[in-house]
Amino acid sequence: MTAPLLRVATAGSVDDGKSTLIGRLLWDSKAIFQDQVDAVTAAAESRGQQGVNLAMLTDGLRAERDQGITIDVAYRYFATPRRRFILADTPGHVEYTRNMVTGASTADVAVILIDARHGVVEQSRRHAAIASLLGVPRVVVAVNKMDLVGWDKGVFDVIAKEFRAFVSGLSIDEMTFIPLSALAGDNVVTASTHMHWYDGPPLLTFLEGVPAAVDDPEEGVRLPVQWADGSRIAGRIVAGVLRPGDEVVVLPSGAVTTVASIDTYEATLDAAGPNLSITVQLADDVVVERGDLVCHVGHLPATGDRLEAMVCWLAEEPLVPNTSYRLKHTTRWCDATVENVVHRLDIETLDRDEHPAHLGLNDIGQLSLRLSTPLAVDPYHHHRGTGSFILVDPVTNATVAAGMVLAIGASAVDITDQADSPGVLVGVSPA
């Protein structure tokens, strides 16, 4: 049986030790190839360092190795006998907040590092807020560099208390605090001999034990169509479980049919779940096109031509109201006009700047969008796959925003607080 997969995003301020932590995990789990060791050893020696610099094991860009900082999201894959992991090492600089959004958008767990010497800083709060907005269900607060504060339990307790106070205003399902030293290896893979006052698991043990997501067959399938040839379609399931014999509806046409068979390249399946790319033979000759959405009858998303959404602005050029963009939702494209910037979120205080004139690079705010064609969507906190989208500049073809749907068919009112109620939309019936 294949070990379950866990997607982990690390975040924190500059020099909190994110890259070193992942390097330690890779090194201690024997997931490093010799050519990688040789490359980082040579890079370290060119800077007057001796031995292997653990942080460089995840800094894949030459510019990152030369500068000693993380610029891009570095993905690393490794496995233990109990679990497979995809680790996203995201940058700590505030100007690379958009990269953190990318790395955390698919994460099951976010590991937020805090330097024990500096405590909770602006970036710590920023990354906690982003993890909450992106619906990351579990957050681990790794208080790093405990060796530099004498393994002091009091320092750890103060940081944990302050962080808990801040996140009380956020929506995070589960939070765990672990004191560690990434450089020394304490509480990363093996338990620390310096902090007997901590009786919890090391970080890797905790991650190995995180329960795997369980597919709920009653939740309803979401299959964006990527290719269609008559009654035969292909795509990747983003939510739910699909089986032969299931009654499904094709949106936006509303055509109802039944699943005759499900295939992959390797075999014919009795059931298919999230993230699996499949080919489906439908029982009836219905019209299906790329961009359509196949769902279970009785488990339909809301459909409309107005969106309320939270976005992270990714472009140097600011967003201003009454601007039009191309919107990509699953496999469908349409035009979208920004009718209103409802508010901009102050990540440090969680206060809202109502109706700002624009959103700038790395800003997070709520928008009201008018669409050129109706879309079938879910609230992001209900289904990530059908509750997310990107905005693209139609002139430069650059991605300018990553969005999370709050509601569809709603008026331009501030509904951020209602995003914690999956499926409940303003102005429409529950999905």
DSSP letters spanning 170-231: S--SEEEEEE-BTTTTBTTTB--SS-TT--S--HHHHHHHSPPP---TTS--EEEEEEEETT
**CATH level 3 topology of 222-296:** Elongation Factor Tu (Ef-tu); domain 3 (2.40.30)
d(CA 378, CA 376): 7
Q: What backbone torsions phi and psi does residue 262 show, to the nearest 5 degrees?
A: -130, 130
Instruction: Evaluate whether 303 touches 374 at the Cβ level (below 8 Å).
Output: yes
Span 302-420: which CATH code?
Answer: 2.40.30.10
d(CA 364, CA 123): 14
Cis previous bond, 252, omega within 30:
yes
d(CA 361, CA 227): 35
| Paired tokens of 40 | 């980082």
Task: Kindly give the confidence (pLDDT) of every residue in the chain, 431 residues in length, as a single tens digit, with 9 standing for 90 and above.
Answer: 466 889 998 888 777 777 788 888 877 776 665 556 666 566 655 666 555 555 655 555 444 444 444 445 567 888 888 899 988 877 655 666 667 777 777 889 999 999 999 999 888 888 888 888 888 889 999 999 999 999 999 999 999 999 999 888 788 889 999 999 998 889 999 999 999 999 999 999 999 999 866 555 567 899 999 999 989 999 999 999 999 999 999 998 899 999 999 999 889 999 999 889 999 999 999 999 999 999 999 899 999 999 999 998 989 899 988 999 999 999 999 999 999 999 998 877 788 999 999 899 888 999 999 999 999 999 998 888 899 999 999 999 999 999 999 998 744 334 344 333 333 222 333 33
Q: What is the pLDDT of residue 362?
A: 84
Answer whether 222-296 and 302-420 agree in fold: yes
Instruction: Evaluate whether 27 touches 53 at the Cβ level (below 8 Å).
Output: no
Q: What is the pLDDT of residue 214?
A: 58
Looking at 3.40.47.10, 3.10.20.600, 3.40.50.300, 1.20.1050.140, the CATH number of the domain 5-209 comes to 3.40.50.300
Q: What is the pLDDT of residue 67?
A: 45
Q: What is the pLDDT of residue 14?
A: 74
For the segment 170-188, what is each residue's pLDDT rounded down to a tens digit? Answer: 888 899 999 999 988 899 9
Q: What is the pLDDT of residue 55?
A: 61
DSSP label of 428: S
Q: What is the pLDDT of residue 317?
A: 93
Query: How many CA atoms lie less than 13 Å away from 181 in the CB half-sphere?
Result: 18
Which contacts qualify for 393-399: CB closer than 8 Å, 24 or more apart? 393/315, 393/317, 393/325, 393/326, 394/324, 394/325, 394/326, 394/335, 398/315, 399/314, 399/315
Q: Where are the domains of the chain?
A: 5-209, 222-296, 302-420
